[in-house]
Structure 1
Amino acid sequence: MILRALHYRTGEPVDIEVQAGRIARIAPAETDRAERDALPYAAPGLVDLQINGFAGHDFNRSPLSTALPGTVARELRREGVTAFYPTVVTNGPETIASQVAAIAEACEQDTDAAACIAGIHLEGPFISPEDGARGAHAREYVRAPDWELFCRWQEAAGGRISIVTLSPEWQGSDAFIRRCADNGVTVSIGHTAATAEQIKEAVAAGARMSTHFGNGAHLMLPRHPNYLWEQLAQDELYSCLIADGFHLPDQVLKVVLKVKGEKAMLVSDAVYLSGMPPGEYETHIGGRVVLTPQGRLHLAEQEGLLAGSAQMLLWGIRQMTERGIASLADAWEMASVRPAGFMKLPAAAGLSVGAPADIVLFRHDGGKLRIEQTCKAGKVVYRYNTNANGR
């Protein structure tokens, strides 16, 4: 298979030859002006480190069907996502065990789930119990880090828990973080009320990332020091950002990019209402919520309070680009090769010879980014159909 497209970084036409699921050759393509203008862009597949659900399918509703992870993997193809980390949030021990086990079973039974699920993100329950920092996580299930309990979950998950979001404010956090790091599990700081010193100690113990930086935080903080400044100051920490235009103001995104550079990454942190039409919904977490035509998800009774993210990585890339915060190429890499590289996935090679052929063809359509084709390991798994609402 040969894909002819504009390279997402250079804008120049190229032929991308795919053999045996990998990129075998990339060469300049000879085109006239008319052909060039008709070409889509080619870019690496998107990698989302934090997805709670999509298109009405929820990784945190119990019981979790083993059919759901594969269904989500297939639905995400229209969003250009070729690898993702289903995210299980704070809950009771048995519920978490059953949810991660269902995801693991799906990966054993469904080839699409196995191909696209790069690991499981466990967000909690080892987070702050404080209001504000805890976010929408249920207070009754919040608890201190417990290595034995985590090992039971990891066993249920078949070793697939790759990321753990926790707050290092708990006594014994450092020992827990070291054990995670020694066992290849990425520790991310989030939903925290930790002191600056506790943040430093967590990084020294092996914490490597900040979960949705700037969100899941108190409404008011000391001027300095505080846990946001400290996470920015820690050079070893990568920062994940929700760039949907609602969770973080532009100035915060700009500051994080200036400080973190290539250690800034995009996540969707999408809840299951992402991909759904605007309207009012009744949810099992948060009650009645409203998804506006503008894409903002808020509590029905309190319009000022967000009820989660309802937008995918494409939306964040567009926001970063249109607001002049990052170039299209840089914003795309924040959502593809950077998270892939951070998690040591083969897809970190991006568009290069020998890399997995996880390739997305996209166009600018009325100011939006529209996926025209998604390839996973060299196989076309999604193609835009104007007669079928993009399916």
Structure 2
Amino acid sequence: MTCGDLIDLQVNGYAGVDFNSDDLTEEQFLEACRRLHSDGVKRFLPTLITDRLETLAARAQKLARFIERNRDVTRVVAGIHLEGPFISPQPGYVGAHPAGAVRTATVDEALRLVDACDGHAKLVTLAPEHDDGCKTIRALVDRGVRVSAGHCNPTLDQLDQAIDAGLSMFTHLGNGCPLSLPRHDNIIQRVLSCSQRLWVCFIADGVHVPFFALQNYLDAAGLDRAIVVSDAISAAGGGVGEHWLAGQRVHVDADYATWSEDRSHLVGSALSLPQAYTNLRNRLGLSDEEAIRLTRLNPAAAIGEGL
């Protein structure tokens, strides 16, 4: 097993290519896939973030066509990750997603987006507290789609109910939440208390979560249930400067932090998963076996990807 065998469950763009752009071409997507593969990512989930339902469905249909038409794309893309639009609209929890496009989860609309993926929907991130009776979670799981909570603030009871309904993951814990939280009863503590029943994902760039905090989270969640993702945007594989995500201008600073235009919040990351792997080894002191578990074995198990 080598660092080149990695699986990334959250990639919004790469090497100057924004997967959420309406102008995305097949050649651009193919080039991004080739760059990801050459940089050490064996398989990944292109990730589409919140937008109007019609826009999101059109983007999903386009990705599905690219996957079906090109063998070089098919061998790298493990499926499509829909991160939204069924998330929390509340400030902080909504993160970089456009709050005006956020929707309460319904079975019909969720399955419409899944159908637009033409069999390639692999993962949906939603807010359990905005899914009445967990009906959408159950419907997605029945379709063979994994469901992750994220950009959300469910109570512990709501989180337990969602897990019972089939929720199996949490998207980038420690992010997609306000800078200030209640001391004890907050989304981070609730998820960590359920970590033996969930795959818990983290961004290991030292910016979204400081490395000392990431170490604490990994100790609490346990390496057997933790996953590291990049949450990469078009800036990943590039450098300092201006980049884009779904029409939003993103500034990458000298520390490779990806700031919104008004510098109020982070927007994805400029991280690649192999860089995250290196951070796990060099900044957290994990062994090669442990780092591989977080960036290869656990992601594969979480989405049913054969090794």
Q: Same fold (TM over 0.5)?
A: yes
Q: Name 1:150's counterpart in structure 2.
A: 110
Contact residue 136 and residue 285 of structure 1 kept, 8 A: no
Instruction: Count residues in correspondence.
Output: 305
Of 118, 125, 149, which residue of structure 2 is paired with 1:189?
Answer: 149
Contact residue 268 and residue 309 of structure 1 kept, 8 A: yes
Q: Structure 2 matches for 1:1-391, cutoff 5 A?
A: 42-43=2-3, 45-172=5-132, 174-234=134-194, 235-261=196-222, 262-281=224-243, 285-287=247-249, 289-299=250-260, 301-302=262-263, 305-347=265-307
Contact residue 253 and residue 325 of structure 1 kept, 8 A: no
Distance 1:290 1:153 in 2: 30
Distance 1:223 1:110, change over 3 A: same
Alignment partner of 1:169: what SS?
Answer: helix
- What amino acid is the match of 2:235? L
- What amino acid is the match of 2:203? I
Distance 1:103 1:280 in 2: 25
The structural deviation recorded for 1:64 is: 3.3
Contact residue 199 and residue 227 of structure 1 kept, 8 A: no
Distance 2:75 2:133 in 1: 33
> What is the RMSD of the two structures over their aligned residues, measured on CA atoms?
1.8
Distance 2:146 2:31 in 1: 26
Higher-Rg member (1/2):
1
- What amino acid is the match of 2:126? L
TM score, norm. by length of structure 1: 0.74
Distance 2:284 2:298 in 1: 20
Q: Alpha-carbon deviations, 1:10-41, whole Å to 9, x = none?
A: xxxxxxxxxxxxxxxxxxxxxxxxxxxxxxxx
Alignment partner of 2:87: what SS?
Answer: coil
Q: Which runs of 5+ in 2 are unaligned?
A: none
Contact residue 64 and residue 117 of structure 2 kept, 8 A: yes
Distance 2:229 2:241 in 1: 24
The structural deviation recorded for 1:223 is: 1.9
Contact residue 84 and residue 119 of structure 1 kept, 8 A: yes
The structural deviation recorded for 1:306 is: 2.3
Q: Alpha-carbon deviations, 1:53-109, whole Å to 9, x = none?
A: 001111111143233332221111222111000001101111111111111111111
Distance 2:136 2:246 in 1: 31
Contact residue 89 and residue 124 of structure 1 kept, 8 A: yes
